[in-house]
């Protein structure tokens, strides 16, 4: 599943960002803007590479500046234009854009009525709708088979995971942010957890749905590595997501009976016994580590206290805002406390290119920001989106798609297109593209 060209591309990008930092990122982002305008295929690759600028561990130095931020803001709009032009040639523009047009006008209505920072909300909405629609359009217009894009994601995941493992040798790097949660080569533990979770969902479902346990050694290795890395990050949301997603896929795809027969084979039973003996011999150590994981290494002594100290206070604050602004919300992608909303505008174009917020849960933040009206509109939008992607997904890609979406239980990233949301939308684009009929896919080996 790995493609050597992608591995080299991602590896060189990471090395460049680590060594030359923002100087390399500045050159890179403008190269990516040019590549994004070349073809739908290079547009998607450009977004993947631009994500690494955001994702890289700050231990190595600052990889961003005002020009890089502006470039990363412009890039989704270029991708949108490239995707629309590609779809225009195929006469499929309306089918792809319809859900986003609907969402845009629903959210725009709630923004005009309820937003306490109109300019920022409108700009973030434009970025989300053009970026999301652009990704789906580029996948649809791409002249590559879905296996090509699976190799793209597989390669990106592999190099990030292996690079993160390498940082274990230097705790100052791997635990840079807070000394407790493992972040590897990423900018923070939570980001690494969100990033890895969909891939672990994919790998687990791939392993469980194979006809045999043979010929998948690298998948096993990556799956075990992913589980270990997730445990080290302390991301409880990731493990909850994996459990829910895998169970949902197994039940919905009617593969439970086949799975049970596979699990009760002689080989599986022997492996299980060996694993049980190993776990039993290290019970006290394992118990201590699991307790520390559940309670976030000292964040509270009960689940309630741990929840409140982790993300609970954010959700309680959102509920208060919902009670005060039930129908139209406080404004799309705005902070729960207005005075904490810090906006950085581009000096050239005056665009609000930086206005970061922290929201602990997509579903409460959705109602808080857009009210009941916007939330109902989003549900309709998501149904329109799912109608295009739900029929022919393979179980592993279904798990990957659901895994990316369900991470929003603990970290609202779906609307954050300038951060982790970009990668979530790339996975959604892969799922959307995977539903294409075979006769609509043109095989090509060139990038």
Q: In whole angstroms, what is the distance from residue 207 CA to residue 227 CA?
A: 14
Taking only the tens of pLDDT, the chain with its 447 residues reads 677 889 999 999 999 999 999 999 999 999 999 999 999 999 999 999 999 999 999 999 889 888 898 899 999 999 999 999 988 877 677 777 889 999 999 999 999 999 999 999 999 999 999 999 999 999 988 888 888 999 999 999 999 999 999 999 999 999 998 888 899 999 999 899 999 999 999 998 888 777 655 556 788 889 999 999 998 988 878 888 888 887 777 776 555 555 545 554 555 555 555 655 654 554 454 445 445 544 455 555 544 444 445 556 677 888 889 989 999 999 999 998 888 888 888 777 777 878 888 787 888 899 999 999 999 999 999 888 877 766 657 888 888 998 998 888 878 889 988 889 999 999 999 988 864 444 333 333 333
Q: In whole angstroms, what is the distance from residue 287 CA to residue 273 CA?
A: 19
Q: In whole angstroms, what is the distance from residue 374 CA to residue 327 CA?
A: 8
Q: In whole angstroms, what is the distance from residue 291 CA to residue 198 CA?
A: 24
pTM for the whole structure: 0.84
Q: How far is CA 389 from the centre of its chain?
A: 18
Both tokens of residue 233? 């990050």
What's residue 270's pLDDT?
Answer: 57
Q: In whole angstroms, what is the distance from residue 154 CA to residue 389 CA?
A: 20
SS (H, E, C) the chain: CCCHHHHHHHHHHHHHHHHHHHHHHHHHHHHHHHHHCCCHHHHHHHHHHHHHHHHECHHHCCCCCHHHHHHHHHHHHHHHHHHHHHHHHHCCHHHHHHHHHHHHHHHHHHHHHHCCCHHHHHHHHHHHHHHHHHHHHHHHHCCCCHHHHHHHHHHHHHHHHHHHHHHHHCHHHHCCCCCCCCCCCECCHHHHHHHHHHHHHHHHHHHHHCCCCCCCHHHHHHHHHHHHHHHHHCCHHHHHHHHHHHHHHHHHCCCHHHHHHHHCCHHHHHHHHHHHHHHHHCHHHHHHHHHHHHCCCCCCCCHHHHHHHHHHHHHHHHHHHHHHCCCCCCCCCCCCCHHHCCCECCCCCCCCCECCCCCCCHHHHHHHHHHHHHHHHHHHHHHHHHHHHCCCCCHHHHHHHHHHHHHHHCCCCCCCCCCHHHHHHHHHHHHHHCCCCHHHCCCCCCC
Angle at which helix 256-263 crosses helix 236-252, to 10 degrees, equals: 110
- Residue 56's DSSP bridge partners are 186
What's residue 418's pLDDT?
Answer: 83
- Residue 432's DSSP bridge partners are none
What's residue 396's pLDDT?
Answer: 87
Domain boundaries, the chain: 4-264+296-437
Q: How many CB atoms lie within 10 A of CB 379?
A: 11
Both tokens of residue 261? 């027969």
Comparing CA positions, the residue from 266, 414, 216 lying closest to residue 332 is 414
Non-local (6+) Cβ contacts of 400 within 8 A are 198, 199, 201, 202, 427, 430, 431
Residues 241 and 197 sit within 8 Å (Cβ to Cβ): yes
Q: How many CB atoms lie within 10 A of CB 269?
A: 11
Non-local (6+) Cβ contacts of 95 within 8 A are 388
Q: How far is CA 259 from CA 80, 93, 271, in A?
A: 42, 41, 16
């Amino acid at each position: 599943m790995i493609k050597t060209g992608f591995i080299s591309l991602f590896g060189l990008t990471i090395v460049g960002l680590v060594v030359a930092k923002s100087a390399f990122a500045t050159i890179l982002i403008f190269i990516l803007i040019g590549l994004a305008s070349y073809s739908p295929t290079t547009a998607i690759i450009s977004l993947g590479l631009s994500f690494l600028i955001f994702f890289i561990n700050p231990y190595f130095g600052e990889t961003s500046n005002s020009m890089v931020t502006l470039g990363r803001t412009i890039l989704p709009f270029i991708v949108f234009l490239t995707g629309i032009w590609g779809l225009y040639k195929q006469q499929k523009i309306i089918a792809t854009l319809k859900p986003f047009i609907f969402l845009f006008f629903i959210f725009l209505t709630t923004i005009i009525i309820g937003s306490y920072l109109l300019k920022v909300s409108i700009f973030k909405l434009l970025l989300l709708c053009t970026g999301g629609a652009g990704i789906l359009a580029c996948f649809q217009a791409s002249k590559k088979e879905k296996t090509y894009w699976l190799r793209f994601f597989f390669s990106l995941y592999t190099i990030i995971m292996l690079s993160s493992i390498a940082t274990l040798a230097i705790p100052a790097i791997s635990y840079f942010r807070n000394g407790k949660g493992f972040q590897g080569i990423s900018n923070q533990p939570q980001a690494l957890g969100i990033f890895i979770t969909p891939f672990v969902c994919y790998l687990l479902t791939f392993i469980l749905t194979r006809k045999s346990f043979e010929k998948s050694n690298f998948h096993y290795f990556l799956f075990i590595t992913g589980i270990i890395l997730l445990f080290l990050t302390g991301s409880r949301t990731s493990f909850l997501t994996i459990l829910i997603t895998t169970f949902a896929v197994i039940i919905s795809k009617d593969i439970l009976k086949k799975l049970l027969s596979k699990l009760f084979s002689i080989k599986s039973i022997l492996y299980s016994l060996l694993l049980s003996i190993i776990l039993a011999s290290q019970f006290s150590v394992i118990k201590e580590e699991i307790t520390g994981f559940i309670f976030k290494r000292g964040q509270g002594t009960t689940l309630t206290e741990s929840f409140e100290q982790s993300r609970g206070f954010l959700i309680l604050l959102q509920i208060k805002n919902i009670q005060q602004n039930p129908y139209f919300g406080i404004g799309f992608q705005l902070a729960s406390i207005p005075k904490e909303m810090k906006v950085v505008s581009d000096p050239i174009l005056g665009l609000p290119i930086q206005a970061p917020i922290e929201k602990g849960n997509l579903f409460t933040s959705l109602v808080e920001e857009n009210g009941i009206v916007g939330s109902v509109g989003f549900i309709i939008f998501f149904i329109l989106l799912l109608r295009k992607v739900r029929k022919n997904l393979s179980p592993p890609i279904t798990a990957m798609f659901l895994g990316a979406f369900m991470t929003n239980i603990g970290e609202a990233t779906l609307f954050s297109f300038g951060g982790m949301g970009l990668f979530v939308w790339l996975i959604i684009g892969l799922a959307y593209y995977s539903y294409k009929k075979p006769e609509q896919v043109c095989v090509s080996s060139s990038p």
